[in-house]
Structures are given as C-alpha cells and as structure tokens.
C-alpha cells in the first residue's frame, strides 16, 4: 500500500497525455508518488502537496464538495493547478491556492511548479509539527474555523494537529471557558450540531476555584487574542500603546500575538505603521 503524504504525493486528475507524461517524469526524478483519482472523494481524502487537474475535473470536485466546499477551501493549503477553462467562479477562492496552467505545456513548467510546491510543503510540514504542539495555536485555529463558517469535526482536527481526541476536547473546553458566549458548530457523519458554552455558575462561598493562576493567565491570553482577531476582522486598527496599557502587556507580547494571528490566517495581511504606531 502506498504511503501518501503532503510531502511525497502529487495528485493528477487529467486526460491530457502531455500533463501525465511530464508529471510522471518529474515525479520519477524526485522520487514522488502520483495519485490518479477516479473520483472527487479520492482527491479530497488523500493527502498531497499539489493537485494538477483538468478544468472539467475541478468542476466535478467543486460540485462533489457540496455544502462542505467552504470548509475545504478554507483548510486546503495545497496548490490546485487547473488546465483548461473552468465554469466555476473562483473569485472567492484564495488567490495563492489556484494556478492556471498555461495552454502551451512543457516539462520545464511542471518541473518548476512541482519543485516549488514540494519545497513549500516540506517547510510547511516542519512548521506545522512545531506549531501544532502549541496549545494556544490549536485553540485559536479552532476559533478561526468556527468564525469562518467551518464546522469542527473532532476526527479531522485530531488528524490535522496530530493529537488525540482527549487533547482536542480539552482545547475546545478551554475555548468555551475563554469565550462563554461562543456557539460552536460540530460535524459528525454529515450531521451538524450546535453547542453553546455553558453559563458560568457561581462557586459556593468559601470553595476554592479549580482554575489556578496559570490557567487564568492562559484564558486571559485567549481572550486577548480573540479581541485582536475580531478587531482586525472588522478592518479596524490595533494601537500598540493603548492596547499594551489596556491589557497590561509589553510591546513584545503584542508583537507575539500579532505574529500568531498572521500564522493562523496567512490570507489576512497585517502590516505595521511605524509613523502611526498601529497594526
């Protein structure tokens, strides 16, 4: 059985003889595996670092995704190279996700495209493994999924972050504690359920809270990041001085928060103005 992964697999769904020939030649040179799907499900379920497909098969993929297409394109980090004219409006799909293959085909083009995406995939895989160990990154990623209309599927999340169900459920509980009003949408076997965070209950007088100081600091960090996340989502600005005072943090801590938000959602460009002192 072939061991497909995002660092060794090219998905090629095409009838074009030149595309098949060039990608096979490059794959042999780089010792890569080629996946030739028969159905959109294979293309969705099998990990790869690039999808090279004919326009008609891209349209089949799009149609086959149905209601889950938003979530697919939100989380898919692999380049989709399309050959031919697609009938799908791709304006809303992140620009760096789609590449239009030129009409005149050549081995040089496919060699450059595949090597470039392979290099990015290897770097991204190394980076993910490092980041996914960070609890704050996982929690904010869950919040980002939920805020952008995606449904949280625990099985998919455990696979993506390479952690067990228990860890993901703890992350979800931490998110609910930090944002009591959040309404999380869960998906399991194509059924969607809603789960609001439970209302806070007053602890009996004299009973020590179970939340220690370290957990309280972590919860405050999550709340602060979510505040910044929503400010930027509204296309408002984050003034460095006033927010450092507001949250009693240093400029270095704020820079760390902004860096994390950039990493969670690379599509949102966050720039800093030295003159005005805000992001």
Per residue in 252-273, pLDDT (tens digit) is 888 888 988 888 887 777 888 8
CATH number, residue 105: 3.40.50.2300
Domain carrying residue 64: 9-127
Residue 192 has a pLDDT of 54
Average pLDDT estimate for 34-41: 91
Last residue of a domain, one of 127, 156, 188: 127
Residue 64 has a pLDDT of 85
Same domain, 103 and 23: yes
Q: How far is Cα of residue 93 from the mean position of the Cα atoms in its chain?
A: 13
Q: Give 18's contacts (C-beta < 8 A, 6+ positions apart).
A: 105
- Tens of pLDDT, residue by residue over 175-216, are 888 888 888 877 775 555 555 544 444 545 444 444 577 788
Handedness of CA 140, 146, 148, 154 (dihedral sign): positive
Question: How many domains does the chain divide into?
Answer: 2
Same domain, 143 and 114: no
- Tens of pLDDT, residue by residue over 112-124, are 999 999 998 888 7
Residue 4 lies in a domain: no
Residue 31 has a pLDDT of 95
Residue 250 lies in a domain: yes
Residue 21 has a pLDDT of 97
Residue 127 has a pLDDT of 67
Between CA 153 and CA 232 the distance in angstroms is 26
Last residue of a domain, one of 92, 107, 127: 127
Same domain, 252 and 156: yes
pLDDT band per the 50, 70, 90 thresholds, residue 137? confident
Instruction: Say which residue, 61 or 153, is predicted with more confidence.
Output: 61
Residue 85 has a pLDDT of 94
C-alpha distance from residue 140 to each of 153, 181, 195, 226 (Å) = 15, 16, 17, 8
Same domain, 184 and 104: no
Same domain, 144 and 116: no
Mean pLDDT of the chain: 84
Average pLDDT estimate for 46-52: 93
Last residue of a domain, one of 127, 157, 173: 127
Residue 269 lies in a domain: no
Same domain, 81 and 199: no
C-alpha distance from residue 164 to each of 124, 131, 154, 159, 243 (Å) = 21, 16, 9, 8, 36
Same domain, 181 and 220: yes
- Centre a 10 Å sphere on the Cβ of residue 82 and count the other Cβ atoms it contains: 23
Same domain, 139 and 122: no
């Amino acid at each position: 059985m072939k061991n497909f992964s995002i660092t060794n697999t090219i998905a090629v769904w095409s009838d074009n003889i030149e595309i098949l020939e060039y990608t096979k030649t490059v794959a042999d040179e780089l010792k890569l595996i080629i996946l030739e799907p028969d159905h959109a499900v294979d293309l969705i379920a099998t990990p790869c670092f690039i999808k090279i497909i004919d326009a008609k098969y891209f349209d089949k993929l799009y149609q086959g995704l149905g209601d889950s297409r938003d979530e697919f394109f939100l989380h898919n980090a692999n380049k989709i190279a399309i050959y031919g004219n697609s009938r799908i409006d791709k304006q809303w799909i992140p620009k760096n996700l789609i590449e239009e293959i030129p009409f005149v085909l050549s081995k040089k083009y496919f060699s450059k495209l595949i090597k470039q995406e392979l290099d990015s995939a290897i770097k991204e895989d190394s980076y993910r493994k490092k980041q996914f160990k960070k609890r704050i990154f996982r929690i904010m990623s869950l919040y980002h999924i939920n805020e952008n209309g995606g449904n949280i599927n625990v099985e998919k999340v455990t696979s993506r972050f390479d952690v067990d169900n228990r860890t993901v459920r703890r992350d979800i509980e931490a998110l609910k504690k930090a944002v009591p009003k959040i309404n999380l949408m869960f998906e399991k076997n194509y059924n969607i359920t809603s789960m609001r965070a439970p209302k806070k209950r007053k602890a009996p007088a004299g009973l020590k809270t179970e939340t220690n100081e370290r957990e309280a600091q972590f919860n405050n960090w999550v709340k602060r990041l979510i505040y910044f996340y929503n400010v930027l989502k509204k296309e408002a600005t984050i003034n460095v001085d006033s927010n450092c005072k507001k949250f009693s943090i240093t400029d270095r801590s704020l820079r760390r928060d902004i860096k994390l938000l950039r990493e969670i959602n690379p599509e949102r460009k966050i720039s800093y103005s030295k003159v005005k002192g805000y992001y």
